[in-house]
Structure 1
Amino acid sequence: MGSKNKLKRFEENKTFQNVIQPTREEIQEGFELKGKWNEHFGNDNPIVLELGCGKGEYTVGLAKRNPNKNFIGIDIKGARFWRGAKTAMEENLQNVAFLRTQIELTDRLFSKNEVSEIWITFPDPQIKYKRTKHRMTNLSFLEKYRKILMPNGTIHLKTDSEFMHGYTLGLLHGLGYEIIYANHDVYKNEGSPKEVLEIQTFYENQYLEKGKPITYIQFRLN
């Protein structure tokens, strides 16, 4: 993407009512929407996050299928989620928002028990050992998620990375967390939720064209 297109999208994001872009200072001093996200949406519906939302395909796709839930796509790259934000505005989806920030700050952006579900879709698996701290299902990240999730809140991990799938399963088993469902090839094995099969991201389509299996885990941090 050219620099001109990025700048154009950054400027357009500023005009979207569904895009929130707090500064790091605002987050550190006390983010104004923390604990008040239902006020932002104007209802008491459950709040669902997509972390590392990319172009926002899952955020928008889930919002269309679940009008009685509120969805927030989170990513630091605003030029990417511009597409999802624009689509949501064009289709008048009132249950969608996009938050430009770093994933590791989520526990400063949401209060205890404020989130009902978290989706992690096609994250960078960070395979090298020295990159372990950046894996979005490592122990540090799971603790951040546990702080904001409701007691029976669920996490969904959908990835093309067999490494990420195996790493996460092993960690969950070791910690004694509840694995609700796991599948190492969702399009060949039956039983996966419809929203796992029916919503496909830009990158997922590329992986499927290459014949890569898509994996999925649903779990709780109880």
Structure 2
Amino acid sequence: MGSKNKLKRFKENETFPNVIQPHRDEVLEGFKFKGNWASFFNNENPIVLELGCGKGEYTVGLAQKNSDKNFIGIDIKGARFWRGAKSAQELELNNVAFVRAQVELVDYLFEPGEVNEIWITFPDPQIKYKRTKHRLTNPLFLEKYKHILKPDGIVNLKTDSEFMHGYTLGLLQGLGCEILYSNHDVYKNEGSPAEVLEIQTFYENQYLEKAKPITYIQFRITN
């Protein structure tokens, strides 16, 4: 993407009422919507997050299917989620928001027990060992998710990376987490939830063209 296009998208994001772009200090020192997301959405509906949301396909797709829930996409790359924010505006979806922030700050954006469900869609698997701390399902991140999720809250991981799928599955089993569902090839093996099959991301379509299997795990962090 050219720098001119990025700048144009950054400017347009500033005009979208569904985009929140706090400075890092604002997040660390007391984010204004933490514990008060009802004031943003004007309702008390359950909150669902898409972490590392990219273009926001799941945030928008799930919002279209579930008007009784609020959906928040989080990503540091605003030029990417511009597409989701713009689509939500065009579709007149009032249950969608995008926050430009690093995923590791998620526990500064939400109070304990404020979130009902989390989606992690096609994250960078960070395969090198020295990059373990950046994997979005490593123990430190799982602890952050547990902190903001309700006691029965659910996490969904959808990825093309067999490494990420296996790493996460093994970690969850070792931690004694509750694995609700696991599938190493959702389009060949039956049983996956409808939203796993019916909503596809930009990157997912690229992987499918290359005949890469798409994996999925749904779990609760119960330890």
Tell me how far apart the structure 1 counterparts of residues 95 and 218 of structure 2 sit (CA, whole Å): 23
Using the TM superposition, give the Cα deviation of residue 186 of structure 1 relative to its aligned residue in structure 2, in angstroms: 0.2
Instruction: Specify the alignment match of 1:40 in structure 2.
Output: 40
- Structure 1: where are the runs of 5+ without partners? none
**Which SS does the other structure have where 1:50 is aligned?**
strand
**Which SS does the other structure have where 1:117 is aligned?**
strand
For 2:26, the aligned partner's letter is E
Instruction: Specify the alignment match of 2:83 in structure 1.
Output: 83
For 1:11, the aligned partner's letter is K
Tell me how far apart the structure 2 counterparts of residues 47 and 38 of structure 1 sit (CA, whole Å): 10
Tell me how far apart the structure 1 counterparts of residues 84 and 116 of structure 2 sit (CA, whole Å): 21
**Which SS does the other structure have where 2:59 is aligned?**
helix
Instruction: Specify the alignment match of 1:123 in structure 2.
Output: 123
**Which SS does the other structure have where 1:105 is aligned?**
helix
Using the TM superposition, give the Cα deviation of residue 125 of structure 1 relative to its aligned residue in structure 2, in angstroms: 0.2
- Please show how residues 143-158 of structure 1 align to structure 2 within 5 Å: 143-158=143-158
For 1:131, the aligned partner's letter is R
Tell me how far apart the structure 2 counterparts of residues 27 and 101 of structure 1 sit (CA, whole Å): 9
Report Cα offsets for 1:22-61 as digits up to 9, x if no partner.
0011112111100001221011110000000000111000
For 1:95, the aligned partner's letter is N
| Structure 1 vs Structure 2 CA RMSD | 0.4
Instruction: Specify the alignment match of 1:109 in structure 2.
Output: 109
Tell me how far apart the structure 2 counterparts of residues 81 and 11 of structure 1 sit (CA, whole Å): 13
The TM-score, its normalising length taken from structure 2, stands at 0.99
Instruction: Specify the alignment match of 1:70 in structure 2.
Output: 70
Using the TM superposition, give the Cα deviation of residue 9 of structure 1 relative to its aligned residue in structure 2, in angstroms: 0.3
**Which SS does the other structure have where 1:211 is aligned?**
coil
Tell me how far apart the structure 2 counterparts of residues 90 and 189 of structure 1 sit (CA, whole Å): 35
- Please show how residues 178-217 of structure 1 align to structure 2 within 5 Å: 178-217=178-217
Question: % of aligned pairs identical?
Answer: 77
Using the TM superposition, give the Cα deviation of residue 207 of structure 1 relative to its aligned residue in structure 2, in angstroms: 0.2
Report Cα offsets for 1:115-173 as digits up to 9, x if no partner.
00000000000000000000000000000000000000000000000000000000000
- Matched pairs, number: 222
Tell me how far apart the structure 2 counterparts of residues 177 and 33 of structure 1 sit (CA, whole Å): 30
The TM-score, its normalising length taken from structure 1, stands at 0.99
Runs of 4+ in structure 1 over 3 Å off:
none
Instruction: Specify the alignment match of 1:3 in structure 2.
Output: 3
- Structure 2: where are the runs of 5+ without partners? none
**Which SS does the other structure have where 2:156 is aligned?**
strand
